[in-house]
């Protein structure tokens, strides 16, 4: 309790500016029709000039010639593009307000090395000014993820239009996050000319850490096999869902050796494993496919790993995974633009080998599958939540990606945010509008 009080008083001190009049949308239980749009289902299909019928926040039907009932709300999407709400799968959104220097605004990284019982959701700030800028770009769901240490804790999927974190939670504690140690020697910062040879062998150290992780899971498994305990171990209790595969294990790592360790962990414990980062996954795509390991690529706009790599390697990695049949999603972890360019990351992947629909799937249905929410969202199909976005043009291309409407569970959410407000404020000052 004390913690919350502290948290709230901090917010009271830092949130002083703008956007306080951008409200979460009111519940809408009635009928809603989106008519005449080009519907990008999210599973690769495109339906031209089609309609979506929504009732009580759920998609009832997708087809052509659906007749809106008299009391229904109707959104004319003629000539427009309709997409499932975009999903940002792994993010510190709402946990880190001001990247960099303002410590008081940060709640994403806890002390300690093995923290499986840490839960991101309890610190998730629905009033973060970042959130509304994502909605304005069509990003409607996000996996809120803790960082730090070896086991950082559990993430929760949230929808981005909420009054508080309990409203926001879409799937609680969907995944446990593990960060694998690096297998390459890094010279210390500023020390290129200093000896590269480390005092310790990084491979040996990494393997020791990996063993420590495995020992943790082995002992957790034994502990969980027993129903009663003299002393409760919260850390073991927290990973229960991994063994029943109700939770996913998200393993963070980029290097091939880290990914091989992830495969090894998946095999030994039977976990449902996703590799987050995976910039080198193109080297072992078929191996990932064989082992049913899914992948979340953090960033499309990045430099090649080595100076000899193809200059467009990061751009075309998704196409390699697609070809190999790996289930993958794209993410946006860019610290300076704060995650609002997810769809442009997909656009880059489309420019370098994916089809546009595959690229859309990589930020909608694939992400939902990996996060374990595909029964409720990720595509525009009957039975799913009405999480959708209407854009005047191709959402993947900055030339045309103009978002006109966004709906979460059938509620039309505001596209206003602090940035649009400041825009209007100064356009007014200069008499430009």
Partner 1 sequence: MRISRHHPRGRIVLFSSLLLLAITGRSQTTFPVNGVADPRQHCYAFTHATLVKDAHTTLADATLVIRDGLITAAAAGLTPPADAVVIDCRGKYIYPSFIDLYSDYGMPTPERAARMDFRAPAQMASNTKGAYNWNQAVHPETDASHLFTADDAKAKPLRETGFGTVLSHLKDGIARGTGVVVTLADASDNLVIVKQHASAHYSLSKGTSTQSYPGSLMGSIALLRQTYLDAQWYKTQPVHEGTNLSLQAFNEEQTLPQVFEGNDKCGDLHGDRIGDEFGVQYIIKAGENEYQRIKEIAAMKATLIVPVNFPQAMDVEDPNDARFVSLADMKHWELAPTNPGAIEKAGIPFCLTAADLRDTKQFLSSLRKAFEYGLTETAALEALTKTPATLVGVYDKVGSLDAGKLANFLITTGPVFNEKTAIIENWIQGKPYAVKEDSWKEIRGQYKLVVTAADGASATYMLDVRSAAAANVIAKDTMTGKFSYDGKMIALSFGGRGGNRRPVAATHLSGFATGDTWNGNGTDSAGHLVVWNAAFLQATPPIPDTAAHRRPGRLGKVLYPFDGYGWDSLPTQQDLLIKNATVWTNESAGRLENTDVLVHAGKIARIGRNLSAPGARTIDGTGKQLTPGIIDEHSHIAAFSINEGAQSVTSEVRIADNLNPEDVNIYRQLAGGVTSSHILHGSANTIGGQTQLIKLRWGVDDEGLKFRNWDPFIKFALGENVKRTTSQNNNRFPDTRMGVEEVLTDAFTRARDYQRQRKLAPNATRRDLELDALVEILEHKRFITCHSYVQSEITALIRVADKFGFTVNTFTHILEGYKVADKMKEHGSNASTFSDWWAYKMEVQDAIAYNAAIMQKYGLNVCINSDDPEQARHLNQEAAKSVKYGGMSEDDAFKMVTLNPAKALHVADRVGSIKEGKDADLVLWSDNPLSVYAKPEKTIVDGIVYFDLERDTQLRIDIANERNRLIQKMIAEKKSGAPVSPAAPSFHIELSCGEHGHHEGMLTIDEGGDDDQNAH
Min separation Cβ 270 and partner 1, Å: 26
By beta-carbon proximity to partner 1, the closer residue of 254 and 385 is 254
By beta-carbon proximity to partner 1, the closer residue of 12 and 234 is 12
SS (H, E, C) the chain: CHHHHHHHHHHHHHCCCCCCCCCCCCCCCCEEEEEEEEEECCCCCEEEEEEEEEECCEEEEEECCCCCCCCCEEEECCCCEEEECEEEEEECCCCECCCCCCHHHECCECCCCECCCCEHHHHCCCCCHHHHHHHCCCEEEEEECCECCCEEEEEEEEECCCCCHHHHEEEEEEEEEEECCCCCCCCCCCCCCCCCCCCCCHHHHHHHHHHHHHHHHHHHHHHHHCCCCCCCCHHHHHCHHHHCCCCEEEEEECCHHHHHHHHHHHHHHCCCEEEEECCCHHHCHHHHHHCCCEEEECCCCCCCCCCCCCCCHHHHHHHHHHHHCCCEEECCCCCCCCCCCHHHHHHHHHHCCCCHHHHHHCCCHHHHHHHCCCCCCCCCCCCCECCEEEECCCCCCCCCCCEEEEEECCEECCCCCHHHHHHHHHHHHCCCC
Min separation Cβ 19 and partner 1, Å: 11
Min separation Cβ 98 and partner 1, Å: 6
By beta-carbon proximity to partner 1, the closer residue of 227 and 433 is 433
By beta-carbon proximity to partner 1, the closer residue of 52 and 359 is 359
Min separation Cβ 166 and partner 1, Å: 25
By beta-carbon proximity to partner 1, the closer residue of 172 and 402 is 402
Min separation Cβ 430 and partner 1, Å: 6
Min separation Cβ 90 and partner 1, Å: 16
Point out which residues bind partner 1 (CB under 8 A).
Answer: 17, 97-102, 129-130, 183-187, 189-193, 196-197, 254-257, 279-280, 283, 299, 301-308, 310-312, 335-338, 340-341, 344, 347-348, 350-351, 396-399, 401-402, 418-420, 422-423, 426-427, 430, 432
Min separation Cβ 80 and partner 1, Å: 15
By beta-carbon proximity to partner 1, the closer residue of 343 and 388 is 343
Min separation Cβ 99 and partner 1, Å: 4
By beta-carbon proximity to partner 1, the closer residue of 14 and 375 is 14
By beta-carbon proximity to partner 1, the closer residue of 120 and 279 is 279
């Amino acid at each position: 309790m004390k913690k919350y009080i502290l948290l709230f008083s901090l917010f009271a001190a830092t949130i002083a500016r703008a956007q306080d009049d951008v409200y979460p949308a009111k519940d809408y239980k009635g009928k809603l029709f989106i008519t005449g749009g080009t519907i990008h289902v999210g599973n690769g299909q495109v339906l031209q000039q089609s309609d979506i019928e929504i009732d009580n926040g759920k998609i009832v039907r997708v087809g052509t010639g659906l007749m809106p009932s008299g009391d229904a709300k109707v959104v004319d999407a003629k000539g427009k593009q309709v997409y499932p709400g975009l999903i940002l799968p792994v993010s510190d959104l709402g946990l880190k307000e001001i990247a960099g220097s303002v410590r008081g605004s940060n709640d994403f990284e806890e002390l300690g090395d093995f923290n499986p019982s840490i839960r991101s959701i309890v610190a998730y700030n629905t009033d973060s000014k970042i959130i509304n800028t994502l909605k304005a770009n069509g990003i409607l769901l996000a996996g809120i993820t803790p960082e730090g240490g070896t086991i950082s804790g559990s993430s929760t999927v949230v929808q981005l239009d909420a009054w508080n974190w309990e409203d926001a939670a879409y799937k609680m504690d969907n995944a446990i996050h593990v960060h694998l140690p690096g297998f390459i020697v890094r010279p210390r910062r500023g020390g290129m000319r200093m000896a590269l040879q480390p005092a310790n062998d990084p491979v040996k150290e990494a393997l020791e850490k990996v063993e420590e992780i495995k020992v943790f899971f082995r002992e957790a498994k034994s502990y969980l096999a027993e129903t009663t305990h003299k002393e409760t171990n919260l850390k073991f209790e927290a990973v229960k869902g991994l063994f029943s595969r109700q939770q996913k294990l998200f393993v963070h790592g980029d290097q091939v050796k880290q990914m091989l360790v992830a495969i090894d962990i998946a095999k030994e414990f039977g976990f449902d494993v996703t590799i987050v980062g995976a910039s080198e996954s193109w080297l072992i795509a078929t191996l990932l496919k064989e082992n049913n390991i899914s992948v979340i690529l953090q960033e499309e706009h990045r430099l090649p790993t080595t100076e000899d790599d193809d200059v467009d390697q990061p751009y075309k990695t998704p196409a390699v995974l697609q070809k190999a049949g790996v289930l993958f999603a794209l993410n946006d972890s860019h610290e300076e633009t704060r995650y609002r360019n997810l769809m442009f990351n997909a656009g880059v992947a489309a420019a370098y080998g994916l089809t546009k629909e595959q690229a859309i799937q990589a930020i909608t249905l694939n992400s939902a599958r990996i996060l374990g929410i595909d029964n409720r969202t990720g595509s525009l199909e009957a039975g799913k939540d009405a999480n959708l976005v209407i854009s005047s043009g191709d959402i993947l291309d900055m030339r045309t990606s103009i978002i006109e409407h966004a709906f979460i569970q059938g509620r039309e959410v505001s596209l206003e945010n602090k940035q649009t407000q400041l825009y209007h404020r100064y356009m007014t000052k200069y008499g430009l509008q």
